[in-house]
A = this chain, B = another copy of it.
Amino acid sequence: MPSEFELIARHFSRASPGARLGVGDDAALCTVSTGMELAVSTDMLLAGRHFLPDAEPEALGHKTLAVNLSDLAAMGARPRWALLAIALPQADEDWLAAFSLGFYALAGRYGVDLIGGDTTRGPLTLCVTILGEVEAGQALTRAGSRPGDDVWVSGRLGGAALGLAHLQGRVKLDPRLAAECRLRLDRPEPRVALGRALRGVASAAIDLSDGLLADLGHILERSGVGAELEFARLPAEPALAAGVPEDLARHCLLAGGDDYELIFTAPPAQEGAIAALAQRLGLPLTRIGRIVEGQALTVRDAQGRPLAIPAHGFDHFADQNDNRPWPISRHGP
């Protein structure tokens, strides 16, 4: 049986050229670039809650890092370093090899060095801390939305939640659409380039992990404003139009999590800049509504009538009997 130290050496000790000292000491050492602030976030993912216990480990390695990169994207920060703490039921070499493959592949694409972590035995649990840099004073936060700002979202919504519904037998998609939705669920692409480009453009941003209404709700709360969304404008994942029951489709769009798109607000004067950005990134950016005075979040149908809004997102303690695996809820302290 390989020891903890052998496991680490074998699977998690690649070179970390962007750090002064990487894996293998009491702490890692790194230098934050001049004029930059450090942006840092942590997420804990549990088998059976945030992902299915039999999740394919290479995809899980991707997603574990992706959801953290998505947090930095929402701040407009450039990812630099990651730490990974893992609890594993047993020292499963194949699992670790596949997991680290997925993790490092995504890390490599974003220039992220794995610089530290921890390995222990226990129920499968993954905790990533991500560190990045952002030009001092330029980070996007949840707090800057002003009445009159437009509300924007990147990409397509609801695909990840629909993929989960299919996986759980709550809906039956044709194989091609099912595969597309599974891809959205298993391999989200963090919108890092978008987040970087939104510095100086967006007034506030958040990543879409708990569902559109819940996550936009965090912006509204922090900014002290309300919003009016137009349901017909929401950029739905195409699979949602393929015979999915209307209530499920609406749930996926408004309350489905795990899409890891960015929701952001910007003054109307930025519309041209945002359209140009969408073109440059090859990523749809859709104006879905407007920030208003007050605190209310209203979604209107094509006739301008307010929709009944489903429960916001997912709360880990609100329903003690809910033990289903579920898209990741990550907006912790």
Contacts and interface: CB of A to CB of B under 8 A. Distances in A.
Interface of A: 1-5, 7-8, 12-13, 20-21, 23-32, 37-44, 46, 48-50, 71-72, 74-75, 77, 81, 83-88, 90-91, 114-123, 125, 127, 129-132, 134, 136, 139, 141-143, 205-207, 222, 315-318, 320, 329-333
Interface of A is mostly: mixed
A87 B85 CA distance: 14
Contacts of A13: 333
Nearest to A8: B333
Contacts of A41: 26-28, 83, 116
Given A85-B332, A119-B333, 8 more contacts: A12-B333, A24-B222, A26-B75, A29-B39, A42-B85, A46-B125, A49-B122, A85-B127
A85 B118 CA distance: 14
A42 B4 contact: no
A321 to B, nearest CB: 11
A305 B161 CA distance: 67
Contact of A46 (B43, B120, B136, B333): B120
The 10 A-B pairs with the shortest beta carbon distances in the complex, nearest first, are A118-B332, A44-B85, A27-B41, A8-B333, A26-B74, A91-B317, A127-B127, A129-B129, A12-B333, A46-B122
A142 to B, nearest CB: 5
Contact of A2 (B32, B40, B77, B317): B317
Contact of A129 (B3, B42, B123, B125): B42
A302 to B, nearest CB: 32
30 contacts: A3-B315, A4-B317, A4-B332, A5-B331, A8-B333, A20-B37, A24-B333, A26-B72, A28-B40, A28-B41, A29-B75, A29-B139, A30-B37, A31-B38, A41-B83, A44-B86, A44-B127, A46-B87, A46-B122, A46-B123, A46-B125, A49-B120, A85-B127, A90-B317, A90-B320, A91-B317, A118-B127, A118-B330, A119-B316, A121-B316
Contacts of A119: 316-317, 332-333
B317 A7 contact: yes
A163 B137 CA distance: 49
Contact of A29 (B38, B42, B48, B130): B38
Given A7-B317, A42-B117, A120-B44, A26 B85 contact: no
A333 B23 contact: yes
